[in-house]
Amino acid sequence: MTTSKSESPRILVIDDSSDIREFIQTSVLEPAGYAVITASNGLEGLRKAREERPDLILLDYEMPQMNGIEMLRALQEQKIAVPVILVTSYGSESVAVEVFRLGVRDYIPKPFAVEDLLASIERVLHTARLEQQRDDLLNELRTANTQLTQRVQELDTLYQVSKSVTSLREGDTLLERIVDAALYLTGAMDGALIMLDPDTGQPTARVSRVRSDNGVQTPVEDPNMLTQSQSLMMATPIQIGNKVLGALTVSNKRSREILDKHDQRLLRMLSDYAAIAIENTRLLAEVEARREREKREIRQVFEHYVAPPVVERILQQPESIRPGGQRQTITVLFADLRGFTTFSASTQPETLISVLNQHLAVAAHVILDEEGTLDKFMGDEIMAFFNAPLPQEDYAIHAVRAAVRLLNATAQLHKQLPPEHRLPFGIGISTGEAIMGNIGTTELVNFTVVGQTVNTAHTLQELAPAGKILICQRTYTLIRTAFPTRPLPPVPVKGHAAPLPIYEVVVTDSATHT
């Protein structure tokens, strides 16, 4: 052994022979670098083993007051876990079995060779060191497992609490739930959440909660949580990045129970979840506000052009109205009052406007009822289109049925008017691709459609006699099984190289119910 005395293993020698004790101490152990403690009998040896806690005991068997077997039993009873080597001249097979059963690590008979004793000592100490290292590692592993289990339980509890917190959307309820969660996790009696204005840093809201026999509730008056003891009160900021949203505080001033670092860690973790929940609630409120604003804008744009059910469908699917222009296959309808120019020249303005509005109201009603979009009124002319802004099944049939109903409804209106106020409509309808979108300036914008299909419909309206409906070839293809028609000679239309085939819709009362 080359270790210094302060680092040397300490060996307790228990033997009733002073000569043997001295020989083992001075001739065997100390030359080998061991620190030596001696005892002359079992009782003294037991006391020194209890007080000194040596690294190894060399124990004689036959001793006064307490023999080796009795001392081994006493060591076990008092849980003194020190390795023992039995060094004795009294030997038998039964004694060997008994002492090994009581924990003796080795058995050295007297007289002994010094080399044998030293080898046994080194072997037992080495084994003891290995066992100690094993026990230390096992203890560390148990501690780590305990800490890990506790950590998992805390995280699971925090997850369940945070899931409950982050699922809330109502601001006041959310803030209360955050404070309740802080009281639950830390075991504190009082809690408060103070929200700050991110721009001014001034408090904007405060929520207090207290624990009582009836559970956690909002106090009638805010409790005085302030205390000079830092271990009874703790606070943590609620922040997203560098933006401080508020502060979460708990206190045990009433119960005087200590809040430790573990509670502080849980409070900080909760504050992270709380910050996310509060920020999500704010962002959700912004999204809802933006949606409501978009709905108002959509309603303002479309409520004068399309039927209320169509407006509601647009509000439910605002993404269907893409910004900017887009191509869409539509059916365009133009209707114009025949003889209006002559009528206006000989009629008083008040009467003129009244008669015009009565006719246009009839047109607007049937177009909206067929879920068409009213584009514009141009004096005595009205423009509408179908299959926009939302897709519409059988849109061409809706357009033609609107035209037929318009003529029939006008006939009914004329029964209530004097003959000189009866102005018939001429109607043109065309189907094809057009560009739809918001067209205009920032001061004045109109949702409309433009393109050759619009021009063709207007040309057909100009060609239509009073009380007649003219349609293009494509419209005819889509409605021919739904309405009676008859072909007319092709007509030249601006924008088309060759004359276009056109058809007249034969108007009957039954056609309005097709």
Instruction: Write 41-48 long-range contacts (CB < 8 A, 24+).
Output: 41/14, 41/16, 41/65, 41/66, 42/14, 42/66, 42/67, 42/68, 42/70, 42/71, 42/74, 44/14, 45/12, 45/14, 45/71, 46/71, 46/74, 46/75, 46/78, 48/12
Positions of the chain with pLDDT under 50: 1-6, 510-514
* Number of Cβ within a 10 Å radius of residue 230: 8
- In 3D space, the residue among 182, 318, 153, 342 whose CA is nearest the CA of residue 251 turns out to be 182
What was the pLDDT predicted at 242?
83
Domain ranges of the chain: 5-134, 167-284, 319-513
The reported pLDDT for the residue numbered 228 is: 53
Cα 389 from Cα 423, distance rounded (Å): 31
Using an 8 Å Cβ cutoff, are 507 and 442 in contact? no
Q: 3-class DSSP state for residue 411?
A: helix
Q: What is the CATH number of domain 319-513?
A: 3.30.70.1230
User: Is the separation of the CB atoms in 374 and 304 below 8 Å?
Assistant: yes
Question: What pLDDT does residue 2 have?
Answer: 38
- For 382, the token pair is 């009205």
**Is residue 54 a contact partner of residue 47, using CB atoms and an 8 Å limit?**
no
Q: In terms of Cα–Cα distance, which of 125, 39, 29 is closest to 85?
A: 125
End-to-end Cα distance, the chain? 115
Contact 56, 12 (CB under 8 A): yes
Are 336 and 379 contacting, i.e. CB atoms less than 8 angstroms apart?
A: no
* Homologous superfamily in CATH for domain 5-134: Response regulator (3.40.50.2300)
Given this model, what pLDDT does residue 162 score?
65
Beta strands in 123-272 (DSSP E): 190-196, 203-212, 215-217, 233-240, 243-251
pLDDT in tens, 92-113: 666 777 888 888 888 888 888 8
State whether CATH 3.90.930.12 applies to domain 167-284. no
| Residue 362 CB neighbour total at 10 angstroms | 21
Please give the structure tokens belonging to residue 420: 């000189």
Tell me how far apart the alpha carbons of residues 503 and 13 are, in angstroms, rounded to a whole number: 127
**Chain position carrying tokens 């015009």:** 356
